[in-house]
Amino acid sequence: MEWTLLVTAAMVGLLGGVHCLGMCGGVVGTLTFSLDVRNQQSWWRMLPFQFAYNMGRILSYMVIGAIFGLIGMAMGSLAAMLPVQQALQIFAGIFMIALGLYLGGWWFGVAKIEKVGQGLWHRLQPYAQRMTPVSSPLQAFSYGLVWGWLPCGLVYSTLIMAMTAGGALEGALVMMAFGLGTLPNLMLMGVFAFYFTRLARTTWVKTLAGLGVIGMGVYQIYLASVVSVG
C-alpha cells in the first residue's frame, strides 16, 4: 500500500474540517445535549462520551473501508489483469484531484456524492434516535457506530482510495487514517472547534490543502502510467 494513501486520507479528514462541522455538528450536538446536565457542564466528564462516540464512528469507517478494500482486491485479481489495477489506481487519483478541488474551494462536485447514501441513512436514523438520551460511554460508542454511516462526500471519496489500497486490512487502515484526521474538529468541538474552523477557512490553508491532495492524486495517476509503460 502506498503511504500517500494514508497521508492523503488523514489530510482530507483534518482539512475538510468545515465540511465535517457542517455535516456532523448537529449529530455531535444531539449527543452532547442528551447527556446528563452534570456531564454537559464538565469537559472531563464529557470526554469519555465523546471519545467512545468517535471511536464507534471510526470503527464503522474501518469496516466499510475493509469491505471496499476487499472489493478492490477482488477486482484487481480478476484474471490477474494488470489493467484493472491500473484503472482503479487512476480512478483513485481522479477522486483525489476532485477532493483537492473541493478542499481548495474551487469545485464542489464531491458534495453531490452524499446523495448516494441517503436511502441507507434514512433506514439507520431511527436506530440512532432510539439510543438517546445517552447514559453511558458504551451507549455513546453504539451511537457512533450508527453515525459512521451518515452520508458524507468526503467519506465516500476516501473509500475510493481504500478500494485501491490492496486488501481489506489496507482499506481499513486508510479509513482509520481519515477518521483520525477528523478528530481535532469533532472530538474538541466544544472547546477548540472555532479555532480549527477559522483555520480551515483561511485561504492559504485551503489552497495548500487543495494543492497537496491534487498533487497526490496526480502522483497516483503517474504511478499507474509508469507501471503501464514498464
What pTM, to 2 d.p., does this model score?
A: 0.79
Helix pair angle (17-34, 189-201), 10° resolution: 160
- Convert the pLDDT of each residue in 147-162 to its tens digit: 888 878 778 888 988 9
**Interatomic CA distance for residues 112 and 224, integer angstroms:** 27
**Interatomic CA distance for residues 137 and 163, integer angstroms:** 32
Query: Which of the pair, 22 or 179, is modelled with greater confidence?
Result: 179
Total domains in the fold of the chain: 1
**CA triple 98-20-5, angle to 5 deg:** 45
- Spatial neighbors of 130 by CB under 8 A, at least 6 apart, are none
| Alpha helices by DSSP H, the chain | 3-15, 17-34, 37-40, 43-77, 82-104, 118-130, 137-147, 153-163, 168-187, 189-201, 203-229
- Convert the pLDDT of each residue in 7-60 to its tens digit: 888 988 887 766 666 556 666 666 666 677 776 666 677 788 888 989 999 999
Listed residue (119, 172, 177) closest to 149, CA to CA: 119
**Interatomic CA distance for residues 173 and 99, integer angstroms:** 19
Domain range for 66 is: 3-229
Q: What is the predicted pLDDT for the residue at 144?
A: 87
Query: Which of the pair, 128 or 105, is modelled with greater confidence?
Result: 105
Give the least confident one: 54-63, 109-118, 219-228: 109-118
**Interatomic CA distance for residues 155 and 227, integer angstroms:** 28
Segment of 53-67, 77-91, 193-207 carrying the highest mean pLDDT: 53-67
Asked whether the predicted pLDDT for residue 82 surpasses 60, the reply is: yes
